[in-house]
């Protein structure tokens, strides 16, 4: 509201000067009031992350984990520690065998404070030069990123990024070792979720279910309350990409509590049939969109922001949490940063280093 012009007729009449004792009392009271007001303001100090960075804590009243605590499944929704449905929004890393240089203290500060994300998905590829080549190294990388994201009050999805071969049972022994190692290190954290198979493909739902019912007890052996995300058939499309639909999961769910089923889409390729399957599934089972892009199924080509917006509108209405692919400077249009950003160590905040998809998704995470 614009204040009224200050006129002579509106000025209050002057009061007599207070006496010395009254003036001293007023000074003391003013000082006490100032101390109380200062204590009530948001902290402006920085808190150490343990990785050499100072993270300002003035950007939010509370971090996502401060606000939500340990997440849980309630009915068909993701809920906070009080049983209230929530929607997480955030970003996925690219494969850490290629783009670990994009995941620094500064870039994660930007994700947490400039982008105001809720969640980071840490993608550990199994093949393609990933975990199978050096399990100790890639476990250590995942461990570091979990710690760094946790320091910033973010939720973390530990993504076991199986892609080829598409049968998750082919990597059962590796998955057992990886999740045993990770859960033993992070079992006391309330902010870690486990995605046990990125995109099963060329394999039946019954086979995926068998895998889930074998690996979930491994995770729960160390972390009984862990929330687990289960991949679905045909590149986590509820089978749509292989001619099926969500009914196979609805009618034959995994025998485990506190789990959600994953759905992936790429808006330029996955049109109304996929959108309808997501909508139907979310009314019957707990769903988490752990990967999506505004481009084609390869994460490249032209952005389809209109179709992407339809998906985001649906997910907002039904409180379906989502993670975008990907937080790197890969040359494909699906990577949010322009090539060379990571080698130059930023800039990470603002839009100068962002591709069109990066600007679009940052704005929707922040909104």
Interval 97-131: pLDDT, tens: 999 999 999 999 999 999 999 999 999 999 999 99
Active site residue 199: yes
pLDDT above 90 coverage of the chain, percent: 83
Average pLDDT, stretch 249-269? Answer: 98
Residue 56 has pLDDT above 90, yes or no: no
Average pLDDT, stretch 18-43? Answer: 39
The active-site residue out of 195, 199, 246, 248 is 199
Tens of pLDDT, residue by residue over 57-106, are 445 568 999 999 999 999 999 999 999 999 999 999 999 999 999 999 99
Asked if 146 contacts 158 with a C-beta cutoff of 8 angstroms, the reply is yes
Q: How far is CA 15 from CA 11, 18, 28, 248, 282, in A?
A: 12, 9, 20, 81, 67
- Using alpha carbons, select from 3, 114, 139, 105 the residue that is nearest to residue 60: 114
Average pLDDT, stretch 231-248? Answer: 98
Query: What is the residue-averaged pLDDT of the chain?
Result: 88
Average pLDDT, stretch 3-17? Answer: 30
Asked if 199 contacts 166 with a C-beta cutoff of 8 angstroms, the reply is yes
pTM: 0.85
Active site residue 291: yes
Q: Give residue 367's pLDDT.
A: 86
Strands 89-92 and 119-125, bridge-based pairing: parallel
The active-site residue out of 195, 246, 248, 291 is 291
Q: Binning pLDDT at 50, 70 and 90, where does residue 328 land? A: very high
């Amino acid at each position: 509201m614009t204040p009224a012009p200050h006129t002579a007729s509106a000025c209050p009449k002057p009061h007599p000067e207070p006496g010395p004792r009254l003036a001293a009392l007023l000074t003391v009271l003013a000082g006490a009031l100032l101390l109380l007001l200062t204590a009530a303001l948001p902290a402006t100090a920085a808190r150490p992350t343990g990785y050499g960075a100072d993270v300002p804590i003035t950007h939010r009243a509370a971090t996502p984990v401060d606000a939500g605590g340990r997440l849980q499944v309630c009915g068909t929704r993701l809920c906070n520690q009080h049983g209230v449905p929530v929607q997480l929004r955030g970003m996925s890393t690219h494969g850490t065998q290629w783009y670990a240089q994009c995941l620094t203290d500064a870039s994660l500060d930007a994700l947490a404070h400039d982008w105001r994300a809720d969640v980071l998905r840490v993608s550990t590829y199994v093949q393609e030069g990933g975990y199978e080549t050096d399990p100790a190294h890639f476990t250590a990388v995942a461990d570091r990123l979990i710690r760094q994201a946790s320091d910033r009050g973010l939720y973390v999805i530990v993504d076991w990024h199986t892609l080829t071969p598409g049968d998750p049972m082919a990597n059962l022994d590796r998955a057992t070792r990886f999740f045993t190692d990770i859960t033993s290190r992070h079992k006391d954290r309330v902010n870690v979720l486990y995605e046990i198979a990125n995109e099963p493909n060329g394999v039946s739902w019954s086979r995926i279910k068998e895998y889930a019912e074998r690996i979930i007890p491994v995770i729960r052996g160390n972390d009984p309350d862990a929330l687990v995300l289960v991949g679905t058939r045909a590149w986590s499309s509820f089978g749509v990409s292989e001619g099926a639909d969500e009914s196979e999961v609805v009618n034959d769910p995994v025998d485990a509590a506190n789990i959600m089923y994953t759905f992936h889409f790429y808006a330029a390729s996955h049109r109304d049939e996929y959108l309808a399957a997501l909508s139907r599934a979310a009314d019957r089972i707990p769903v988490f969109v752990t990967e999506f892009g505004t481009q084609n199924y390869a994460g490249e080509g032209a952005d389809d922001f209109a179709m992407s917006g339809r998906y985001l509108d649906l997910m907002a209405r039904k409180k379906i949490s989502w993670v975008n692919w990907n937080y790197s400077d890969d040359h494909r249009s699906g990577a949010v940063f322009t090539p060379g950003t990571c080698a130059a160590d930023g800039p990470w905040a603002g839009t100068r280093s962002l591709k069109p998809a990066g600007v679009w998704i940052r704005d929707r995470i922040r909104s």
